[in-house]
Amino acid sequence: MEPLKLDERFFFHGMGEIRPLAELPPAPPWRAFERTGTDRGEGYQASDEERMVVNAALYLRRPILVTGQPGIGKSSLPYAVARELDLGDVLVWPVTSRSTLREGLYEYDALGRLQEEARAAHRVQAGLKDEETDPGQYVRLGPLGTALLGWRRNENGPVLPRVLLIDEIDKSDVDLPNELLHVFEEGEFMIPELARLPKSEYEVYRWRSQERVEVQGGQVRAEEFPLVFLTSNNEREFPPALLRRCLRLNVVPPNEEKLRAIVKERFRPMVGDEAVEGLPDQPEVRAAIEKFTKLRDEQGKELATDQLLNVVHLVLKSVGPLHKKELLDALLRPLVEG
């Protein structure tokens, strides 16, 4: 095996020598974290089926259950929709086995509320003026609860749908999909901690925001049903009642033509509009695309599209993964071994 030639492209040499890192080159466009959330949808290449299902969901006010293998771009679709339709930041609810419906709807800081009541009682005992507490400040809507409220692009504009991504719903507890049914069907939910209080109006916080919104009688009701995307890696079956309430979209692996288009759009910010047109035809990039499709389509290996993008990025940085089989094999290692 030809020894690796270490030069300025390699930061880590692994020879025991101290080599202080001065700075890194710019990150790949899709790994630049200073970008806004909706930028994640920039350059997304939608299929005809995706276009039709998204538009149908907007007309019907129905959630979309998006299925497909890991790394295929299921979670990128909501960002592309929010970006193109100018619907603000995507609200994201990453689901785990411990996720509950209440977590998606709202959070109530019971401890903070008790502490405030104790301080108020202490002030009264001390003969100080009793200050009215604000229970609403201890309630923060979750991503689903916030999505139901919709939003206005400007103060006098119409209420528009928020885009909500419920990511990897198949990782949830077995009961969560069924618990979502009432919210999806009725577009409302109750906050008991507010409903039992004497006042009828309280202001609560939106998710990840210091903006507050008024809630009447402890009930949050949809002003405009959100555009909801539930993603699944096909790791479980869902109850028919949930499937009936969702439009279903299966995202298929991109063919070679679409891969070429994805490469161009992902690297356009990095190489520019003119250079990117010929990017997929550069010998090393073309070879990477061909190897990727051969492994996936002919040998049946399960690969994610971003694995190909990683290879192309290193090619553009002249790290030369195609000259080192070990690195290329590591970058294109199947998601499922065997």
Distance CA 81, CA 58 (A): 11
pLDDT, position 131: 63
Last residue of a domain, one of 250, 266, 281: 250
- 217 with 304, same domain? no
CATH number at 169 reads: 3.40.50.300
Residue pair 102/145 in contact (Cβ under 8 Å)? The answer is no
- 150 with 96, same domain? yes
Count of structural domains, the chain: 2
- 199 with 278, same domain? no
- 74 with 223, same domain? yes
Q: Which residues pair with 163 in a beta bridge?
A: 227
pLDDT, position 335: 87
Full pLDDT tens readout for the chain, 338 residues: 567 777 778 888 898 999 999 988 888 877 877 665 566 777 788 999 999 999 999 999 999 999 998 888 899 999 999 999 999 999 999 999 999 999 999 999 988 888 877 776 676 666 666 566 788 899 999 999 999 999 888 888 999 999 999 999 999 999 999 999 999 999 999 999 999 888 889 999 999 999 999 999 999 999 899 999 999 998 888 999 999 999 999 999 999 999 999 999 889 888 888 989 999 999 889 989 999 999 999 898 999 999 999 999 988 887 765 556 778 888 999 988 76
180 token code pair: 């979502």
- 117 with 84, same domain? yes
pLDDT, position 78: 96
Element housing 214 (H / E): strand 212-216
pLDDT, position 59: 97
For residue 219, what are the domain limits?
38-250
pLDDT, position 129: 62
* Residues 6 or more apart in contact with residue 100 via CB below 8 angstroms: 173, 176
pLDDT, position 97: 93
Residue pair 61/225 in contact (Cβ under 8 Å)? The answer is yes
pLDDT, position 72: 85
